[in-house]
Amino acid sequence: MAEKTPELTPDEVSRVIEMAWEDRTPFEAIEATYGLTEPQVIALMRNEMKSSSFRMWRARVSGRVTKHAAKRGFSVGRHVCPTQRTR
């Protein structure tokens, strides 16, 4: 039986797409925030994007360790550029 996909507003769909494109945002963060599993995110991306954009995104994230929290070799945190001044 297929998982029930949560109902999302257009703004939430837009944010999920944005998070899915980000290299450092793992699928687990999307699931924690919006309740969408990785296969559901993939299905959403397939439905909401042009086919060429979906293929480009899929090639980009397939096998990318930063998209899976368990495979990440760095601690989760905010990136700060070395030239950025902190006050």
The number of CA neighbours under 13 Å toward the Cβ of 32 is: 8
Task: Write down the pLDDT at residue 4.
Answer: 75
Q: Residue 47 carries which side chain, given as an amino acid letter?
A: N
CA distance 64 to 7: 28
Reported as a pLDDT band with limits 50, 70 and 90, residue 79 is low
SS3 51: helix
Reported as a pLDDT band with limits 50, 70 and 90, residue 1 is very low
Query: What pLDDT digit, counting tens, does each position of 26-66 carry?
Result: 889 999 999 999 999 999 999 999 999 999 999 988 877 76
Asked if 58 and 21 touch (Cβ cutoff 8 Å), the reply is: no
Mean predicted lDDT score pLDDT of the chain: 81
Read off the pLDDT of each residue in 4-13 and give the average, rounded to a whole number. Answer: 88
Between 17-26, 53-62, 74-83, the lowest mean confidence (pLDDT) is in: 74-83
Q: Residue 27 carries which side chain, given as an amino acid letter?
A: F
